Structure 1
Amino acid sequence: LLPALTPFRSRDLRRNATEPEKHMRRALRSAFPEAKFRFQVPLGPYHADFCSHAARLVIEIDGATHAHSVTSDEARTRFIEAEGYR
């Protein structure tokens, strides 16, 4: 069960996407038009930038917001991989 504010956080992250996220979104849609990538998907306590549930694939765009959070990025990666995503 997700926290009550999760949908609002997801929506806010989508509305305020960074330029690299916007670029990746366009690139994914162009390169893989048949693939279903969701944007800013809640996975446990984290939000994945891009997620394909069918392919069990998560793509994270690590920019300036992740520059000083190596430890938390590693924890996020371990969690996502434990959930069966690459």
Structure 2
Amino acid sequence: MLKPSSRTQANARRSRQESTMAEDAMWKLLRDRRLAGVKFRRQAPIGRYIADFCCSALRLIIELDGGVHVLRAESDAERDAWLTAQGFTVLRFGNEAVLNNPAVVFEAVRQVTVQQAR
């Protein structure tokens, strides 16, 4: 089931208003179809989860991980497995990579986007 609950939708709305520096930086790269002309949504509810960035057309999710994700590796793996079972490809990048090397992250996402668009 992909339909999010009203609670998940409310949490996604709140997350859009309280984004991290890394999420803001990534959004500047993805918004307005800047990446190969595809549309991304930020803090997109999918089932019981909220994807940091999602391109529904390509079934592509981009997740940005801060330090807390070291402690949540098992739940992140479970989440990724569920999203993958729903037909999504999940890319994960550390916040530091986005903040320190945005061009490298952008290029990695661009390559996957171009491959999936074929």
Residue 25 of structure 1, aligned match among 14, 20, 27: 27
RMSD: 1.6
Q: 1:65 to 1:15 in 2, by over 3 A?
A: farther
**Larger RCO of the pair (alpha carbons < 8 Å, separation 6+):** 2
Percent of pairs with identical residues? 37
Partner of 2:93: none
Per-residue CA deviations over 1:30-86 (Å, capped at 9, x if unaligned) read 741721101011111110000001011000001123221000000011011000011
How many residues are treated as equivalent by the alignment?
86
Residue 3 of structure 1, aligned match among 5, 20, 37: 5
Structure 2 residue 51 is matched with structure 1 residue 59: no
- SS in structure 1 of the partner of residue 27 of structure 2: helix
CA–CA separation in structure 2 for the residues paired with 1:5 and 1:26: 27
CA–CA separation in structure 1 for the residues paired with 2:7 and 2:54: 20
For structure 2, list consecutive stretches of 5 or more residues without a partner in the other structure: 90-118
Query: Which is richer in helix?
Result: 2
Q: Do the aligned residues in 1 keep the contact of 2:69 with 2:76 (CA within 8 Å)?
A: yes
Higher Rg of the two aligned structures: 2
Per-residue CA deviations over 1:10-48 (Å, capped at 9, x if unaligned) read 110000001111101101237417211010111111100
Q: Do the aligned residues in 1 keep the contact of 2:8 with 2:48 (CA within 8 Å)?
A: no
For structure 1, list consecutive stretches of 5 or more residues without a partner in the other structure: none
Q: How does 1:72-83 map to 2 (within 5 A)?
A: 72-83=75-86
Which runs of 4 or more aligned residues in structure 1 lie more than 6 Å from their structure 2 counterparts after TM superposition?
A: none
Q: Do the aligned residues in 1 keep the contact of 2:8 with 2:49 (CA within 8 Å)?
A: no
Q: Do the aligned residues in 1 keep the contact of 2:54 with 2:61 (CA within 8 Å)?
A: yes
